[in-house]
Amino acid sequence: MKQNALSKWLKFIIIGVGSCGLIVYGMVIPMFGQIFATYLNGEFDYCYWPWLGFIWATGIPCYLVLMFAWKIACNIGEDRSFTAANAKYLKWISILAAADAAFFFTGNIIYLFLNMSHPGIVLFSLLVVFAGVAVAIAAAALSHLVLKAEVLQEQSDWTI
């Protein structure tokens, strides 16, 4: 697959992920929040807006990650796959994923102590935190590898 075609596919996937995220954050989560708030006989009605705001706040780093992924896809399309810029973008993706996972975990614990959550929700949220940490580690490893590949590519460009 050529660099330009790969770049187009990556951009298509990034747009798809962003669109799915908008649907989940804009429609699915508010709908399920309303169902849970009313299903429990109004016991947790007062938690709906704080939880919705908290969940929406966790989406901000996700869209920043998509922005960095778009920049990487553009660089790939310009045949600049192994560059320090891409390594930097991957490092930022790693930092954002780790920060979002930490924010999500901390928010769940705070809401638990404020009696706005259930221990089962906190336990379930550990799966989301694990996924965020996994993305952070994978992005950090890719950043390191891209940086090493850039050095190797630079060395090979200078050899005959």
The residues, ordered by sequence, that sit 6+ positions from 47 with a Cβ below 8 Å of its Cβ are: 37, 111, 116, 117
pLDDT of amino acid 11 = 97
Q: Residue 72 — very low, low, confident or very high, per pLDDT cuts 50/70/90?
A: very high
Among 10-14, 42-46, 51-55, the range scoring the smallest mean pLDDT is 42-46
Whole-number Å distance between alpha carbons of 73 and 69: 6
How many distinct structural domains can be found in the chain? 1
The domain in which residue 70 lies consists of 3-158
pLDDT of amino acid 160 = 58
Other residues' Cβ atoms within 10 Å of the Cβ of residue 139: 23
Contact (CB, 8 A) for 140 and 108? no
Write the pLDDT tens digit of every residue in 4-37. 999 999 999 999 999 999 999 999 999 998 888 7
pLDDT of amino acid 82 = 93
